Amino acid sequence: MAEKTSSVAIALAVLACLAVAHRHVTSAQVVSLDAPPPTTVWSGVYTEADAQRGKIAYTKRCATCHGADLKGGPGVAPIVGNPFFDRWHDLRVFDTFAYIQSAMRHDFRNFVPANEARDLVAFLLQQNGIPPGNQPLPKDYGVLNEILITFPPEH
């Protein structure tokens, strides 16, 4: 009888653990086999015009620290080539956009408005060999959050 009781207790403990673990799984962690692959930066998510505006904003706001060539300098990370992809792969375009607005060193006068931050993202994508498309980089934060940054396809 004691053996049967301990088997039941173990089974109930396992079920309780599974129930707790199940509650911590979010919908973002559930992957459907029928789900389409995510949109990536390689599918033309910005226009050449976005990138050109971004270049102007970069020269005005970013080049002093990151350099005209985007290769950084003493104490400033490069934002082109492998360092860009090492930092941003498997993150979303929205993450880059939000980082530019919130974490870049600037004072109140130099706060980067949303439209310039989007253009800066487009410029960074262009400078990292990611081709433009026919549609401008979306203004909708939810859509920006659906665009995945990945290593180049041949990586």
Domain 39-148 has CATH 1.10.760.10: yes
Tell which wins on pLDDT, 124 or 6.
124
What does pLDDT average to over the chain?
83
Banded model confidence at residue 155, pLDDT cuts 50, 70, 90? low
Predicted confidence (pLDDT) per residue in 76-90, tens digit: 999 999 999 999 999
**pLDDT one-digit tens code per residue, 126-142:** 999 999 999 999 999 99
Q: What pLDDT is recorded for position 112?
A: 86
| Residue type at position 13 | A
Predicted confidence at residue 37, as pLDDT, reads: 82
Give the pLDDT score at 100: 93
Confidence of residue 5 (pLDDT cuts 50, 70, 90): low
**What is the reported pTM?**
0.76
**Cβ pair 137, 44 in contact under 8 A:** no
Given a contact cutoff of 8 angstroms between Cβ atoms, the answer to whether 121 and 58 are in contact is no
Q: Do the Cβ atoms of 100 and 93 come closer than 8 Å?
A: no
Q: Which of 66, 54, 40 has the alpha carbon at shortest distance from 151?
A: 40
Q: What is the C-alpha to C-alpha distance for residues 130 and 43, in angstroms, rounded to an integer?
A: 9
CA-based nearest residue to 44, from 138, 110, 155: 138
